[in-house]
């Protein structure tokens, strides 16, 4: 099997400005922030980002990397609203496609199945149709009389997800409470990249865990990055919880351009990893 291990800079070197990028996780939970940090360091711009949004969206908004956001919400969970995302929206700097969070799943699912659309009730009667005038409805061809929303596929150029363990071939394991939609992001993407807390031998993956925890299969994965603490400051339970103090500093950095500059500089140095020693790596139950 091919060894797909690479570094975060090598992942970002495969991305291009203007690409549509899917980011896994949910809110401020298990976000691939080590990879996002690498995007912040890069020259990439004009990205279309598809996300169940958390600080990934806020960081990329504040750094001016996003041209268009495809989303259902942006939240930091313990802080209900992300101030960087709000600032970007309120200044009109970013374009958006706002969908019901189930529609977003349907769009990724359709793309992963190579279908042009999937029908749903979600969105009908709401202003989701007003603000996305390209959306169309489709009549039940079997005569049931229902006119449903045809959620278009959301194909991704690339997907970035962070999971707990992976092998060098790209089989990736979720040990947390919920895989969220990480496998769909990978399935919808032309190029999918997985970062993980630890790369382990394949046999090690199921020594203590059910095979059902192997939620991303290598056939969908182009690159694997070992990034201990790679979801910090979002939660990566059971390996580590959200770093609430750090998240608050992140949110507070929206108060002024100077505050953002200071946070941005410190964030790019990777300082965050050293603030919560021992929150990842050896000694954690697998």
Partner 1 sequence: MSDATRAEICAVACAEAFRGSGEILASAFGTAPTLGVRLARATFAPDLLLTDGEARLVQGTWPLGAAPDGPVEGHASFRTIFDLVWSGRRHAMMVPTQIDAHGNVNISAIGPYDAPEVQLVGVRGAPGNTLCHPVSYWVPRHSTRVFVPRVDMVCGVGTAAAAAVGRAARHHDLRRVVTDLAVLDFAPTTGTLRLVSVHPGVSAEDVVARTGCPLVIEGDIPATRLPTAAELRLIREVIDPAGLRDKEIAA
**Residues forming the site for partner 1 (CB under 8 A):** 26, 53, 71-75, 80-81, 85-86, 89-92, 98-103, 105, 120-128, 130-131, 144-148, 177-181
Report the nearest approach of partner 1 to the CB of residue 11 (Å). Answer: 26
Report the nearest approach of partner 1 to the CB of residue 184 (Å). Answer: 8
**Which residue's CB is nearer to partner 1, number 96 or number 268?**
96
**Which residue's CB is nearer to partner 1, number 99 or number 260?**
99
Report the nearest approach of partner 1 to the CB of residue 71 (Å). Answer: 6
Cβ 36 vs Cβ 23: under 8 Å: yes
**Which residue's CB is nearer to partner 1, number 131 or number 245?**
131
H or E segment and range at residue 171: none
CA 196 – CA 98 distance, rounded (Å): 29
CA 80 – CA 214 distance, rounded (Å): 31
**Which residue's CB is nearer to partner 1, number 86 or number 275?**
86
**Please, which residues have CB within 8 angstroms of residue 252's CB and are 6 or more apart in sequence?**
259
**Which residue's CB is nearer to partner 1, number 103 or number 166?**
103
CA 97 – CA 101 distance, rounded (Å): 12
**Please, which residues have CB within 8 angstroms of residue 237's CB and are 6 or more apart in sequence?**
29, 176, 177
**Which residue's CB is nearer to partner 1, number 95 or number 190?**
95
Report the nearest approach of partner 1 to the CB of residue 210 (Å). Answer: 11
Report the nearest approach of partner 1 to the CB of residue 119 (Å). Answer: 9
**Please, which residues have CB within 8 angstroms of residue 261's CB and are 6 or more apart in sequence?**
none
Peptide bond into 157 cis (omega under 30): no
CA 269 – CA 110 distance, rounded (Å): 39
Bridge partner residues of 53 (DSSP): 74
**Number of C-beta neighbours around residue 249 at 10 A:** 18
Report the nearest approach of partner 1 to the CB of residue 267 (Å). Answer: 23
């Amino acid at each position: 099997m091919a060894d797909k291990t690479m570094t975060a800079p090598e992942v970002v070197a495969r991305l291009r400005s203007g690409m549509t990028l899917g980011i896994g996780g949910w809110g401020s939970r298990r976000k691939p922030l080590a990879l996002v940090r690498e995007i912040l360091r890069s020259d990439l711009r004009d990205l279309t980002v598809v996300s169940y949004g958390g600080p990934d969206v806020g960081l990329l908004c504040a750094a001016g990397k996003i041209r268009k956001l495809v989303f259902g919400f942006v939240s930091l969970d313990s802080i209900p609203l992300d101030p960087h995302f709000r600032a970007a929206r309120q200044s009109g700097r970013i374009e958006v496609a706002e969908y019901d969070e189930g529609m977003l799943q349907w769009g990724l699912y359709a793309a992963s199945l190579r279908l042009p659309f999937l029908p749903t009730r979600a969105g009908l009667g709401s202003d989701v149709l007003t603000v996305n005038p390209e959306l169309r409805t489709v009549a039940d061809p079997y005569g049931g009389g229902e006119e449903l929303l045809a959620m278009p596929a959301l194909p991704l150029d690339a997907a970035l997800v962070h999971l707990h363990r992976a092998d060098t071939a790209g089989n990736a394991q979720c040990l947390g409470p919920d895989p969220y939609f990480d496998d769909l992001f990978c399935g919808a993407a032309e190029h999918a990249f997985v970062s993980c807390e630890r790369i382990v031998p394949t046999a090690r993956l199921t020594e203590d865990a059910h095979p059902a925890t192997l939620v991303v299969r290598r056939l969908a994965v182009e690159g694997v990055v070992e990034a201990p603490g790679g979801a910090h400051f979002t939660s990566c339970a059971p390996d580590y919880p959200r770093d609430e103090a750090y998240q608050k500093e992140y949110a507070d950095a929206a108060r002024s351009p100077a505050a953002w500059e200071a946070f941005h500089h410190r964030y790019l140095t990777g300082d965050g990893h050293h603030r919560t020693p021992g929150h990842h790596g050896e000694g954690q139950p697998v």
